[in-house]
Amino acid sequence: MSRIGVAFDKARADGRAVLVGCMPAGFPTVDGSIAAMKTMVEAGVDVIEVEIPYSDPVMDGPVIQRASDLALAGGVRTADTLRIVEAVAATGAQVAIMTYWNPIEQYGVDTFARDLAAAGGTGLITPDLIPEEAGAWLAASDAYGLDRTFLVSPSSTDARLRMTAEHCRGFVYATALMGVTGARSQTSEAAPILVSRLREVTDLPVGVGLGVGTGAQAGTVAGYADGVIVGSALIRCLLDAPDQATGLAALRALSAELAEGVRNPVR
């Protein structure tokens, strides 16, 4: 059974895609990030992806790097992330954690799984952990009933797509293009091909991320995927704003636009 599956089931019943919105924990502050995530939920984001800020985020582009640096400079700790998960899960939204592997390894894989389950989180999305290296996490996620989302890429072979999907629970994260996070002006041509290749090897829902930043792009992706994952564009609302109120207003507006997009899939 999957914890995040609730969101996908509900969206499927509505004939739309799930909207997943990403925000670094502790950006701009712990309470500020809780406020931002609650705003996103109120405006129609189904699943919140809380990213644990990390000093060396090799999969992330400039926007998430900067937000992560600011969060770390503000002193956010891994334990704060769990408090954020608890606060946002209380809204009824599904809350997953996106994290590079080292912070989890240092917290203790089993301990983190226990604490994440207790906080009401659904599971982990792990951008630099492939199933071959995930032994401890496979065991801990089974023990605490947490979801596991590994990433697949346009460069993944069919054999790796199958193997990776077999190790996922909840959904599979398809990276739409070869590159790091960050909004792009055009949606990816590689993504629909990757998703159809995935459909051949798994029945799990497929979320597509990397480069999505507008309602129209969300609609395009919703046309072929079960979930639309947006990060940098949402984070930029706060980075670019002169004050918190302006930032939250922009965040609310973009969240609503994206929520509208996933309700109007372009097929």
Partner 1 sequence: MSADPAAPAAQVPDAAGHFGRFGGRFVPEALVAALDELDAAYRKAMTDETFRAEFDGLLRGYAGIPSLLYPATRLSARAGARILLKREDLNHTGAHKVRNVLGQALLTKRMGKARVIAETGAGQHGVATATAAALFDLECVVYMGEVDTQRQALNVARMRMLGATVVPVTTGSRTLKDAMNEAMRDWVANVDTTHYLIGTAAGPHPFPEMVRDFVRGIGEEARQQCLDLTGALPDAVAACVGGGSNALGIFHAFVPDSGVRLYGFEAGGEGVATGRHAASITGGSSGVLHGTRTYVLQDSDGQTIESHSISAGLDYPGVGPEHAWLHDQGRATYLPVDDDEAMAAFELLCRTEGIIPAIESSHALAGALKIAPQLAAELGREPVIIVNLSGRGDKDVHTAGQYFGILDRETA
Residues annotated catalytic, as ranges: 49, 60
Nearer to partner 1, 146 or 194 (CB): 194
Identify which of residues 55 and 246 has a Cβ nearer to partner 1 in the complex: 55
* 72 touches partner 1 by CB under 8 A: yes
User: Rule CB under 8 A: is residue 78 a binding residue for partner 1?
Assistant: yes
Asked whether position 151 contacts partner 1 by CB under 8 A, the answer is yes
How many Cβ atoms are within 10 Å of 175's Cβ, its own excluded?
25
Q: Which is nearer to partner 1, 67 or 251 (CB)?
A: 67
Site size with partner 1, rule: CB under 8 A = 40
Least Å distance between CB 262 and partner 1?
Answer: 24
Shortest reach from residue 13's CB to partner 1, in Å: 31
* 101-130 footprint of partner 1 as x/- string (CB under 8 A): xxxxxxx-------------------xxxx
- Which sign does the torsion angle of CA 152, 169, 90, 263 carry? positive
**Residue 15 and residue 264 in contact, taking contact as beta carbons nearer than 8 Å:** no
Torsion-angle region of residue 108: left (phi > 0), alpha (psi -120 to 50) or beta?
A: left
By the rule CB under 8 A, 77 interacts with partner 1: yes
| From 153, 187, 188, 217, residue interacting with partner 1 (rule: CB under 8 A) | 153
Select 8 or 54, whichever has its Cβ closest to partner 1.
Answer: 54
Smaller CB separation from partner 1, 109 or 248: 109
In angstroms, give the least distance from the CB of 29 to partner 1: 17
| Shortest separation between residue 94's beta carbon and partner 1, angstroms | 23
Q: Does 257 bind partner 1 (CB under 8 A)?
A: no
Q: Given CA atoms 253, 258, 262, 264 in this order, what sign does their dihedral have? A: positive
Residue at 151: amino acid letter: L
Cis previous bond, 205, omega within 30: no
Q: Which of 93, 147, 145, 152 is nearest to 125 (CA)?
A: 147
Interface ranges with partner 1 (CB under 8 A): 54-59, 61, 65, 69, 72, 77-78, 100-107, 127-130, 132-133, 150-157, 160, 164, 175, 178-180
